[in-house]
């Protein structure tokens, strides 16, 4: 079940998820093997951010966007080899994440950011959901 609420900086990590993996304009114009819907689980390992939250993201032509309805700005890319780079912000919170997706439909990486309670960081994992 996807959490429709943006619960702290953890969303930023998700986009981690999910997640600018060395993407380029040339890569964005080709079909990316990682395009589609992904579920991203955010885990906080350091700091006072909300964690262990599941979010949905969609990758289209290597560009990452948030699949929820909350007011969240997501920008990031996934290269055709699976390298992920993403930046997320909502209100006074922001985070960035990096990692890798694999062709078997899973992936993971790390994230760090800042929110109302200070700096925090953690890991993210992703599963293809569509």
- Torsion of Cα atoms, 81 then 43 then 127 then 90, to 10°: -80
- Is residue 68 situated within a structural domain? yes
Q: How far apart are CA 53 and CA 103, in angstroms?
A: 24
- Is residue 5 situated within a structural domain? no
- Is residue 77 situated within a structural domain? yes
Range of the domain at 41: 10-128
> In this predicted model, what pLDDT tens digit does every residue of 22-70 receive, in sequence order?
333 444 456 899 999 999 998 999 998 876 788 899 999 999 999 887 8
- Is residue 21 situated within a structural domain? yes
- Is residue 22 situated within a structural domain? yes
Q: What residues contact 40, with CB distance under 8 A and at least 6 apart? A: 14, 15, 16, 17, 18, 19, 54, 55, 56, 57, 124, 125, 126
CATH number of 58's domain: 2.40.128.120
The pTM of the full predicted model, rounded to 2 decimals, is 0.75
Count of structural domains, the chain: 1
- Is residue 123 situated within a structural domain? yes
> In this predicted model, what pLDDT tens digit does every residue of 89-126 receive, in sequence order?
888 889 999 999 999 999 999 999 998 889 999 999 99
- Is residue 2 situated within a structural domain? no
């Amino acid at each position: 079940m996807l959490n429709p609420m943006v619960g702290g900086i953890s969303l930023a990590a998700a986009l981690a998820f999910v997640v600018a993996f060395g993407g380029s304009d040339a890569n964005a114009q080709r079909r990316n093997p990682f395009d589609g819907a992904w579920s991203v689980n955010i885990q906080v390992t350091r700091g006072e951010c909300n964690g262990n939250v599941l979010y949905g993201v969609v990758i289209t032509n290597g560009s990452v966007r948030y699949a929820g309805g909350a007011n969240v700005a997501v920008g990031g890319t996934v290269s055709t080899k699976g390298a992920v780079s993403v930046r997320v912000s909502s209100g006074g919170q922001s985070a960035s994440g990096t990692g890798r997706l694999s062709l078997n439909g899973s992936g993971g990486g790390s994230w760090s950011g800042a929110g109302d309670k200070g700096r925090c960081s953690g890991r993210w994992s992703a599963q293809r959901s569509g």
